[in-house]
Amino acid sequence: MKPCPTEYSTRVTGYLEERFGLPRELFDGYALWLGSGGRIYLGPLPPSLPVEIATCGLMIARVQRTIKPSTALFQLLGYHVTRARIELTDAQTKAYVAGEDVAPSPEQIADVRIGYVCLTHDGIAIGCGLLKNGMIENVLPKAVRLKLSYV
């Protein structure tokens, strides 16, 4: 775990601003950190500590060939997302949280380009999805999937 090199952090914040309308100023006062496997964390500014930092803050994205925003990012900052945002119905929310892919209506994706999207329901940011071939592919980590009692 080390502070994120500038080229990485600029690429990530640029992508989040361009695709989701998340202003870079949201990250002011914090730092981006680079972990293993291209994982990017939003955490505190590097502190003066006499020990190695194992991990920090919130895992916000994974950078490989493309940038994949995390569910944790949208669950915290999804309320600031102004683009590539899809509001799910009750049934879609239940299915998506349980780990299923979801078929959106044409109206739901009218203004959304293919790629990663921020999913919301009734004022709650659900997480990240992948809009592709007219479907929202489920990219929720298996560990967070749940069979909800209601939505």
Count Cβ atoms below 10 Å from residue 126 Cβ, excluding itself: 23
106 belongs to the binding site for other proteins (CB under 8 A):
no
Question: In angstroms, what is the minimal distance from the CB of 123 to other proteins?
Answer: 8
Q: Of the two residues 2 and 113, which places its CB atom closer to other proteins in the complex?
A: 2
* Nearer CB in complex with other proteins: 44/134: 44
The correct pick among 6, 52, 65, 142 for binding other proteins (CB under 8 A) is 52
Burial 59-83 (b: 16+ CB within 10 A, else e): bbbbbeeebbbbbbbbbebbeebee
Place of tokens 């991990």: 55
Residue number with CB closer to other proteins (67 or 125): 125
Q: Any long-range contacts for 147-150 (C-beta under 8 Å, 24+ apart)?
A: 147/98, 148/93, 148/94, 148/97, 148/98
Binder to other proteins among 6, 36, 66, 143 (CB under 8 A)? 143
Judged by CB under 8 A, which of 38, 75, 101, 109 binds other proteins? 75
Strands 85-87, 115-121: pairing kind: parallel
Residue 51 near other proteins by CB under 8 A: yes
Interface with other proteins (CB under 8 A): 29-30, 42-44, 47, 49-59, 70, 72, 75-76, 93, 97, 121, 123-126, 143-144, 146-151
